[in-house]
């Protein structure tokens, strides 16, 4: 499997286009999320601009636990990076979306880089790495989760932590009797494909992984990371803290 280290072309960056539009005009057209597995949905663009007053408790917990030099991976419109910067935290925001990065710069985030997490030019040494709003998504599929965790672990300073959230999607497949309508011989139920459209800007389809906590912690252990659940949300979602395993003296 080759790992993508590219950034998006602006004409293939619907979420970035929506973010920049919302920032400059105060409103946005419909950002449509398509999937082969679900009906078309609409992503409320203002949600990407949420402030600490409207962030879910899991994210507030992550911000509260953030310390030291911080990397915000897939920072989007920069809501977490901005909140941290305002608290005096030294934070670098990265995203593959050039238009989102432009929006973050315009919002006053001092250290923004349009770079793929897997680009070897991205330097490490971070005390905290934030991966929020389903941070496991970047793995794409279950087969990419180990590689994602090893990559993020390699960017940590000694004693550093990764704060990552995800959800157990099994509820999507629950039938009325509480049973599960899951094909056990098929792919993992948290593997989703998406494609986004904003006006005439259509992105390429991409894979996005949601992973339940037991599977995340098993993958973390295999990647040499300690994993603990920090908080649980009210919709099968959770926040986990991953850190480099301490080697016993
Ligand atoms: N963290 C933000 C945005 C989440 S949306 C928030 O909570 O509001 C996920 C973001 O990850 C998108 O902006 C997308 O462009 C970015 N992204 C996806 N793959 C990436 C990669 N490999 N490297 C860096 N950013 C990535």
Ramachandran bin of 232, using left for φ above 0, alpha for ψ from -120 to 50, beta for the remaining angles? beta
pLDDT of res. 55: 97
Domain count, the chain: 1
What is the CATH classification number for the domain harbouring 95?
Answer: 3.40.50.150
Q: How does pLDDT run across 11-29, given as a tens digit for each residue? A: 999 999 999 999 999 988 8
Nearest to 204 by CA among 73, 13, 2, 37: 13
Confidence of residue 175 (pLDDT cuts 50, 70, 90): confident
* C-alpha to C-alpha distances, 182 to 173, 186, 192, nearest whole angstrom: 6, 8, 14
In a domain? residue 118: yes
In a domain? residue 117: yes
Q: What number is the average pLDDT over the span 88-95?
A: 98
Residue 90 has pLDDT above 80, yes or no: yes
Counting ligand 1 atoms within 8 A of each CB, the residue from 96, 114, 203, 208 with the most, and so the one to mutate, is 96
SS (H, E, C) 28-61: CCCEEEECCCCCCEEECHHHHHCCCCCCCHHHHH
Q: Which two tokens stand for residue 72?
A: 């915000």
d(Cα 7, Cα 206) in Å, to the nearest integer?
A: 13
Q: Which two tokens stand for residue 208?
A: 């996005």
Nearest to 74 by CA among 111, 116, 33: 116
In the chain, the percentage of residues whose pLDDT exceeds 70 is 97
List the domain range (segments joined by +) for residue 147.
54-190+210-244
Contacts of 168 (CB under 8 A, 6+ apart): 190, 210, 211, 212, 213, 236, 237, 238
pLDDT of res. 217: 97
For the beta carbon of residue 118, count every other beta carbon within 10 angstroms: 15
In a domain? residue 36: no
d(Cα 214, Cα 11) in Å, to the nearest integer?
A: 38
Counting ligand 1 atoms within 8 A of each CB, the residue from 76, 115, 205, 209 with the most, and so the one to mutate, is 76
Q: What number is the average pLDDT over the span 207-221?
A: 97
Strands 126-131 and 225-232: unpaired
d(Cα 45, Cα 27) in Å, to the nearest integer?
A: 8
In a domain? residue 105: yes
In a domain? residue 198: no
> Is 0.85 topped by the overall pTM?
yes
In a domain? residue 81: yes
Among the residue ranges 92-101, 115-124, 169-178, 193-202, the one predicted with the least confidence is 169-178
d(Cα 205, Cα 35) in Å, to the nearest integer?
A: 8
Ligand 1 in contact with 78 (CB < 6 A)?
Answer: no
Q: How does pLDDT run across 97-119, given as a tens digit for each residue? A: 999 999 999 999 999 999 999 99
Contacts of 76 (CB under 8 A, 6+ apart): 15, 19, 48, 95, 97, 100, 133
Hunting for tokens 């949300």 — which residue is that? 233
d(Cα 55, Cα 217) in Å, to the nearest integer?
A: 25
Residue 248 has pLDDT above 70, yes or no: no
In a domain? residue 203: no
Ligand 1 in contact with 74 (CB < 6 A)?
Answer: yes
pLDDT of res. 2: 66
Residue 228 has pLDDT above 80, yes or no: yes
Residue 160 has pLDDT above 80, yes or no: yes
Q: How does pLDDT run across 42-60, given as a tens digit for each residue? A: 999 999 999 999 999 999 9
pLDDT of res. 180: 74
Residue 236 dihedral angles phi and psi, to the nearest 5°: 60, 15
Ligand 1 in contact with 75 (CB < 6 A)?
Answer: yes
Ligand 1 in contact with 55 (CB < 6 A)?
Answer: no
In a domain? residue 91: yes
Residue 165 has pLDDT above 80, yes or no: yes
């Amino acid at each position: 499997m080759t790992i993508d280290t590219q950034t998006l072309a602006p004409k293939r960056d619907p979420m970035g286009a929506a973010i920049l539009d919302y920032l400059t005009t105060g409103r946005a057209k419909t950002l449509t999320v398509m999937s082969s597995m679900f009906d078309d949905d609409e992503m409320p663009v203002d949600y990407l601009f949420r402030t600490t007053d409207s962030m879910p408790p899991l994210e507030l917990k992550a911000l509260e636990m953030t310390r030291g030099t911080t990397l915000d991976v897939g920072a989007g419109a920069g809501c977490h990076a901005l909140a941290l910067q305002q608290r005096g935290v030294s934070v670098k925001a990265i995203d593959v979306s050039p238009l989102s990065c432009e929006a973050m710069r315009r919002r006053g985030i001092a250290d923004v880089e349009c770079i793929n997490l897997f680009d070897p030019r991205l330097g490490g040494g971070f005390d905290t790495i934030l991966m929020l709003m389903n941070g496991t998504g970047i793995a794409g599929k279950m087969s990419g989760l180990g590689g994602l965790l090893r990559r993020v672990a390699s960017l940590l300073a000694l004693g550093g932590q990764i704060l990552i959230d995800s959800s157990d999607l099994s509820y999507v497949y629950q039938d009325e009797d509480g049973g599960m309508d899951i094909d056990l011989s098929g792919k993992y139920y948290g593997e989703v494909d998406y494609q986004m459209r904003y006006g005439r800007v259509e992105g390429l389809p991409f894979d996005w992984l949601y992973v339940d906590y037991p599977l995340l912690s098993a993958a973390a252990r295999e990647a040499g990371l300690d994993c603990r659940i920090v908080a649980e949300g009210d919709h099968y979602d959770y926040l986990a803290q991953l850190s480099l395993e301490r080697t016993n003296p």
